[in-house]
Structure 1
Amino acid sequence: MSDELFVVTVTYSPGPHLERFLATLAHATDRPVTVIIADNGSTDGAPEEAVERHPNARLFRTGGNLGYGTAVNRAVAEYGLTSSTDFFIVANPDVQWGPHSIDLLCEAAQRWPQAGSLGPLIRDPDGAIYPSARHQPSIIRGGMHAVVAPVWPSNPWTAAYRQDRAEPSERTVGWLSGSCLLLRTAAFAQIDGFNERYFMYMEDVDLGDRLETAGWQNVYVPSAEVLHAKGHATGRDPARNLAAHHVSTYTFLADRYPKWWQAPLRWAFRTALGARASLVVRRSRRKSRQS
């Protein structure tokens, strides 16, 4: 593994999160790091200020709000990462890096030569462990989670899908949260990067699934820790983002069951996800009005 490491982060008016992201990188690794800020049309000046304050930061303007995965793909192509480095990191700008977190991910990559992606343990701002390492959403497990979770959060299908009851351990999983990933460039190039049909949400689930299909592994590395503030793009319009999540979920499931005789299954997915989206969006808007 070469000493220099590239970190790609996608911004859309990230505010103070980006400064904390860049400042805490010093705790994460002793390697020289180049940060590529793939900006999707920020208007708050934060990416420009970051480049002025941090000599290792590079600003790449994508030309519009292209979505997360597409912006990453554009930055990787612009800087030729798949031909110049063995690994690179993709992370949200509202991530704060834990001590040696990047070094620990890189060390794990040497232990897992077939790992296409590696992800750390992610903590919420309150210190709770976020379930960032999950199974792939099967028809039963994923479907029941999608439909039942809003009214029965502790249901067994959600617990199984999210691996809520599994102790943190270094292991292979179905997919890892795209908020922080170490990616092997050979694997990323083999599957042509992120699927650009996903504007936001589920692009990480799709990535993990396609990596496994191509013979690579997704490896959870809980010895590496980061904090995810979750305050970048998702908090601005919760109802809109919840609706977008359900659209992406349908896209993912429909892609996995594309045959003509599976049309009733796709119809069931669409109906159930539409009902769930309506429920959670109404609930989100009611909470927004109350607050």
Structure 2
Amino acid sequence: MIGSRMSTVSKPPAPTPRVAVVTVSYGSDDVLGPFLASLPSASRQPLHVVVVDNKPAAFTNVVESLTTSAGATYLPLPSNRGYGYAINSAVRELEPEIDWVVVSNPDVTVNPGCIDILLGSVLDSAIAAVGPRILSSDGEVYPSARTVPSLRSGVGHAIFANYWPKNPWTRNYRKESEIEAVRRDAGWLSGAFLMIRRSVFDQLDGFDESYFMYFEDVDLGYRIGRLGLRNLYEPAAVVVHTGAHSTSTHDESAGMIRAHHESAQKFLFKKYSGPWQRPLRLLLAVGLGLRSRLEARRSPR
């Protein structure tokens, strides 16, 4: 009798998710180099890196030089139509094989292994976006995984945060007591650095380009939640946000304060859009307008 051998058929290894990293420069010559230099150690796999330039130089283009020297793709835009528009423009040009898109500010350095840790935390197909622990340059934790602004948490935070920092609305909105070491779901993740599933980003048509700056990340997280999907905070992954793009003049600072409050109003009007909520929207507009003017007066001179 001739015996037969049982052959063992092994499954092929699961393909490694392909990751693209997209950042937007607006005169970011001083910070782009350290950001690009930190990326190779952030993952064991090659990363497809795109630098979108919202302020391309006419002559000596340092941003282009830094980008090409790092082996990244340089994408200059003819005009500055905002952060969300720039990110969307880059993602539309990515190869269809890209599974995840890392969205990052250029004034960030990425700790070794950060992107691999984020990928390793995505154990549920319902997780659409994941964000790391974000540290300031002096080591303080930035509250990057917050609840979606509501009439209680968002508005209470807006009114009292600068005068009563430990108020209950700010604590609920920022979730500051939970952010340092606990993996958890969030309402939205900071656009300073987050990784989003490409298929979900495409399904949502990317960032809402009606936000020129600020709140496009809040809006994205909110829309992810409305799809029944998850935004996950993973504190084991770490990036450092230097904040080098803070403004120094009163006019610049006041302009950014106005833009922030205008974007906040846009988001809250979108969330509370029912005809019966028109009086509420009027109150929100008055309150945010007053706060914007007060904050502009307090900005550095």
Check the 8 A contact 1:131/1:163 in 2, yes or no: yes
1:242 to 2:257 alignment:
yes
Superposed CA RMSD in Å reads 1.6
C-alpha distance in 1, partners of 2:42/2:210? 32
- Secondary structure of 2:23's counterpart equals strand
Displacement of 1:261 in angstroms is: 1.7
Q: From the superposition, tell whether residues 240 and 53 of structure 1 become closer, same or farther in structure 2 (CA, over 3 Å).
A: same
Displacement of 1:51 in angstroms is: 2.6
Check the 8 A contact 1:2/1:86 in 2, yes or no: no
Displacement of 1:15 in angstroms is: 1.9
Displacement of 1:3 in angstroms is: 5.4
Residue 287 of structure 2 aligns with which residue?
A: 272
- Secondary structure of 2:208's counterpart equals coil
C-alpha distance in 1, partners of 2:254/2:158? 16
Check the 8 A contact 2:18/2:100 in 1, yes or no: no
Residue 30 of structure 1 aligns with which residue?
A: 44
Check the 8 A contact 2:22/2:90 in 1, yes or no: yes
Displacement of 1:235 in angstroms is: 5.8
Structure 1, unaligned runs of 5 or more: none
Q: From the superposition, tell whether residues 49 and 151 of structure 1 become closer, same or farther in structure 2 (CA, over 3 Å).
A: same
C-alpha distance in 2, partners of 1:124/1:189? 31
136, 147, 155: which one aligns with 2:148: 136
- Secondary structure of 1:69's counterpart equals helix
Residue 210 of structure 1 aligns with which residue?
A: 223
Counterpart of 1:282, as a letter, is: R
1:121-178 deviation line (CA, Å, top 9, x unaligned): 0001110000000111111111111122232222111011000122531111100001
Residue 71 of structure 1 aligns with which residue?
A: 86
Counterpart of 2:212, as a letter, is: F
Residue 49 of structure 1 aligns with which residue?
A: 65
124, 132, 139: which one aligns with 1:127: 139
Displacement of 1:42 in angstroms is: 3.3
Check the 8 A contact 1:116/1:216 in 2, yes or no: yes
1:217-260 deviation line (CA, Å, top 9, x unaligned): 10000000000112237667222111100000000000111122
Check the 8 A contact 1:124/1:227 in 2, yes or no: yes
In the superposition, the TM-score normalised over structure 2's length comes to: 0.90
- Secondary structure of 2:29's counterpart equals coil
Counterpart of 2:270, as a letter, is: D
C-alpha distance in 2, partners of 1:163/1:117? 18
Residue 21 of structure 1 aligns with which residue?
A: 35
- Secondary structure of 1:252's counterpart equals helix
1:154 to 2:166 alignment:
yes
Counterpart of 2:56, as a letter, is: S
Q: From the superposition, tell whether residues 234 and 249 of structure 1 become closer, same or farther in structure 2 (CA, over 3 Å).
A: farther
Residue 251 of structure 1 aligns with which residue?
A: 266
User: Within 5 Å, which residues of 2 pair with 1:212-227?
Assistant: 212-227=225-240
- Secondary structure of 1:139's counterpart equals coil
C-alpha distance in 1, partners of 2:247/2:147? 23
Moved over 4 A (4+): 233-236
- Secondary structure of 1:84's counterpart equals coil
Residue 172 of structure 1 aligns with which residue?
A: 185
Q: From the superposition, tell whether residues 123 and 92 of structure 1 become closer, same or farther in structure 2 (CA, over 3 Å).
A: same
- Secondary structure of 1:16's counterpart equals helix
Check the 8 A contact 1:3/1:31 in 2, yes or no: no
Identity in percent = 41
- Secondary structure of 1:182's counterpart equals strand
Residue 184 of structure 1 aligns with which residue?
A: 197
Residue 96 of structure 1 aligns with which residue?
A: 109
Check the 8 A contact 2:189/2:233 in 1, yes or no: yes
Instruction: Select the structure of larger CA radius of gyration.
Output: 2
- Secondary structure of 1:268's counterpart equals helix
Q: From the superposition, tell whether residues 94 and 213 of structure 1 become closer, same or farther in structure 2 (CA, over 3 Å).
A: same
Structure 2, unaligned runs of 5 or more: 1-14
Check the 8 A contact 1:119/1:219 in 2, yes or no: yes
C-alpha distance in 1, partners of 2:295/2:128? 34
C-alpha distance in 1, partners of 2:220/2:17? 26
